[in-house]
Amino acid sequence: MLHPAIDLKLVSPDIGYGVFATQDIPKGTIIWALDPLDQIIDQGKAKAMKEPSESVLHRYSWINGNGDRILCWDFGRFMNHSCEPNSVGPGKLEFEIAVRDIKAGEEVVCDYGSFNLEEPLDCACGSAQCRGRISPEDVDNVAPKLDALVRAAFREIPNVTQPLWNLVQKYRLQIERGIAQPSHLPSLIENRWPRLPVAAAPARQRRASR
């Protein structure tokens, strides 16, 4: 579930839709958390899907550290990629936090390189740090930087309003430990899943939505 101050908006005809902050969201705010309405689809069920469901699933879902596909029921599936993300997740903990202050009207974006991609993506994020091409192997390079952003933001969790707090209660001990000792937080590398065959999914272009 996305933070309630995030809504869907058309980015451009080429890119499609994205999610944008409707009010200022401070650093340390939980941006998204897995909730009971999100679909968790195991590999067997995903492989058995036929068109058009197969293409929709591969376009709008992402693969977690267990190899399951997560299909968000809300606008979370439209979160776009940026090589300079403002929303990052702490390893295997199934939520993301704002790693810097997000202004009202600003797009909320994550780094697809931190997910278990099945094929490379062409990037058009426009960031000064744009890598041009997002690949399944990117996690090795981006994890240290993204982990550092999460650790820096984690101390702010108790200092800001958290509308999604009830959804992360199962991680309470890890969150408390991470606030006290950010270095104890899991790395994004721990969320890696072996890459599936490239032929298993159609190519996704530009800043394709999750």
The model's confidence at residue 14, banded by pLDDT at 50, 70 and 90, is confident
The model carries a pTM of 0.89
CB 134 within 8 A of CB 210: no
Encode pLDDT of 148-174 as tens digits.
999 999 999 999 999 999 999 999 999
CATH number of 6-193: 2.170.270.10
Supply the DSSP symbol for 34: -
Q: Could you tell me which residues come within 8 angstroms of residue 145 by beta carbon, excluding any fewer than 6 positions away?
A: none
Half-sphere CA count of 63, side-chain side, radius 13 A: 18
* Domain range list for the chain: 6-193
The model's confidence at residue 192, banded by pLDDT at 50, 70 and 90, is confident
Distances (CA, A) of 10 to 19, 55, 74: 8, 21, 16
